[in-house]
Amino acid sequence: MTPTYQTIIAAAELHDHLHQANWLVIDCRADLSDLEAGRRAYAQGHVPGAWYAHLEEDLSGPIVPGKTGRHPLPSVAAMEALFGRWGISPTTQVVVYDDSRGAIAARLWWMLRYLGHTNVAVLDGGYAQWLAGDYPVDTTVKPVTPTAFMGQVQTDWLRSVAAVDAQRQDADFRVVDSRATDRYRGEVEPIDPVAGHIPGAINLPFADNWLPNGLLRPAAELQARFAELPPAPHTTFYCGSGVTACHNILAYAHAGLGDAGLYAGSWSEWIVDAKRPVAVGG
C-alpha cells in the first residue's frame, strides 16, 4: 500500500512515486521582488508533470486597500475552484514545492488542509533538493481531469484580528511572529510601511525550522523549538502577510503538536488601522 504524506516528503520519495496516477505536483516558486520570476523559472524547467501556482494570482485573494494585508486568503469558493481545476479528489496525493525551502509552498499546503485535504506534503528542501538528487527536469504538465472540489473548512484554524487582539493579552495563549528577528524588533522593515510587531507576540523566525542544508529539522528538534508554546488551539502564528507563517505551522505539525492557528492577515493587515498598538524591541 502506498503511504500518504501529510507534512513533508523527501526528493527521493517523490521521485519513486512521481508517475503514479493519483499524484499531483504543484510548483509554487515566487519572488516578492519580481512577481513573474517564479513563472519564468517554472517555464524553464520543473519537476516533470508539475503544475504552477502563482502566489499573487492563485494563492492570494484581492487586496482591499485599508482593510486587508498584502496576501489575503482567497475565498473558499476561489480555493475550491482552483483545486477543482487541478483535478484534486479526496484520494489525490499532492506535493508542493518552491525554491525557498518550503517558505512559499507551505501556503498552499495550509490552504489545502484548511479545506480538509490532508494528503498534501511539502518537498523537503525544495527544488534545490530535487536538483541535488540529479532527478529529471522538463517542461511538461501532467494532464488532469477537472473535478468538483468540495472543501470541509476548518474554521477554527483561522484567527481574526479581534481574536489575535484578545489572545495577545491572555496568558493562556501565545501569538507568534514568524518573521526575522530584526523585523520583529522593528530594527528594519523592507516591505511594510510600519516597523515592529504585535504587542505581546513572541518571535520564532520560520527560517530557524530548517538545517543548514535546507532540510526541515527532525521532529524532536522541532518539538524542542516549540516546547514553550501552549497546545495548538491556543497558539497562533503570523508573519508579514500570512505566507511564511504557514511554514511555522508546517513545522509545528511535523513535530506532532497538532494544527496551530493562522492569522492570515498578519502584520500587513494589523497596521492598516493606526489605532492598533505596535511594539518595537525584543
Catalytic sites, residue numbers: 239
Q: Which residue has the cell 479545506?
A: 115
How far is Cα 261 from Cα 254, in angstroms, rounded to an integer? 15
Pair 78, 61: CB distance under 8 Å: yes
How far is Cα 21 from Cα 182, in angstroms, rounded to an integer? 45
Q: Which residue has the cell 525554491?
A: 99
Name which of 115, 111, 75, 119 is nearest 94 in CA terms.
119
Q: Provide the grid cell at 165.
A: 487582539
How far is Cα 85 from Cα 104, in angstroms, rounded to an integer? 21
Alpha carbon dihedral 252, 59, 95, 84, in 10-degree steps, equals 130
**Greatest CA span in the chain, whole angstroms?**
55
How far is Cα 101 from Cα 186, in angstroms, rounded to an integer? 25
